[in-house]
Copies of this chain bind each other. A is one copy, B any other.
Amino acid sequence: MLRPLTDEQIDRLIEEATGAFAAKGFAGASINSIAKGAGVSVGVIYKYYKDKRALFTACLEKSLAYLDEVFSMTKEKNGTLMEMVSDLIKQNQEAARLHPEYFKLYHQITVSGDEPGMENIAEMIEGRSATLYAGLLEKAKEEGRVRSDMDTQLFAFFFDNLMMMLHFAYTSRYYEDRFRIYCGEDKAADDDLVHDEMMKFIGGAFGAGQ
């Protein structure tokens, strides 16, 4: 038989597709040009994926698996709250510089409307970190290490918002520009500075000095 797609070819297809979906969105990306870009035939895509949506989902799953891995690395260190925050910032910076397209794809789904199959996607993606952050804050609050008057759920939410915006700042053309407008080229490129200032910001927000 014609040589089956190698793992490399599949990887390249997913990579190409991820890039296309990340850059142009689901509707804007074209299967035919993804195939061309990946160096495979159109037809074979439909052997591996039922339709365009399934290809998109496969790309998304790979991206989310990566994001989850990054998140898990921090989680497993089991450090203190602020150690975790520091870690998360660093990991996000590093991961976003390494694989911007994964974050871009994540970014894409945040703009998609009510497409079928997208109903519980937020729960899937956000559930774990929501629970983790709120739990850590709750524990820290009980132990008196953060301000006692916070709503831990909302504070977890605000904190995660900062994390999301951080990786988008390394990832989306618009957010990159915006980053530079706020800080100038130099600071935006200085990962350590950003980390340190963010630690101050979040530390202060949490009242983590107590």
A residues contacting B by CB (< 8 A) are 1, 22-28, 43, 104, 107-114, 118, 121-123, 125-127, 130, 134, 147, 149-151, 153-158, 160-162, 164-166, 168, 172-175, 177-179, 181-184, 187, 193-194, 197-198, 200-202, 204-207
Contacts and interface: CB of A to CB of B under 8 A. Distances in A.
A134 B166 CA distance: 18
Contacts of A161: 161-162, 165-166
Main secondary structure of the interface of A (DSSP, over half): helix
B162 A204 contact: no
Contact of A158 (B28, B125, B201, B206): B201
A112 B25 contact: yes
Contact of A157 (B134, B150, B179): B179
Given A27-B28, A153-B183, A200 B126 contact: no
A172 B122 contact: no
Contacts of A178: 122, 125-126
17 contacts: A1-B43, A24-B113, A25-B25, A25-B111, A25-B113, A27-B28, A110-B111, A118-B174, A126-B181, A134-B182, A153-B183, A153-B187, A154-B183, A154-B197, A164-B165, A202-B205, A204-B205
Nearest to A194: B154
A150 B111 contact: no
Given A27-B25, A126-B181, A111 B172 contact: yes
A164 B173 CA distance: 16
Contacts of A25: 25-28, 111-113
Contacts of A134: 182
A81 B23 CA distance: 38
B200 A147 contact: yes
Contacts of A173: 112-114, 118
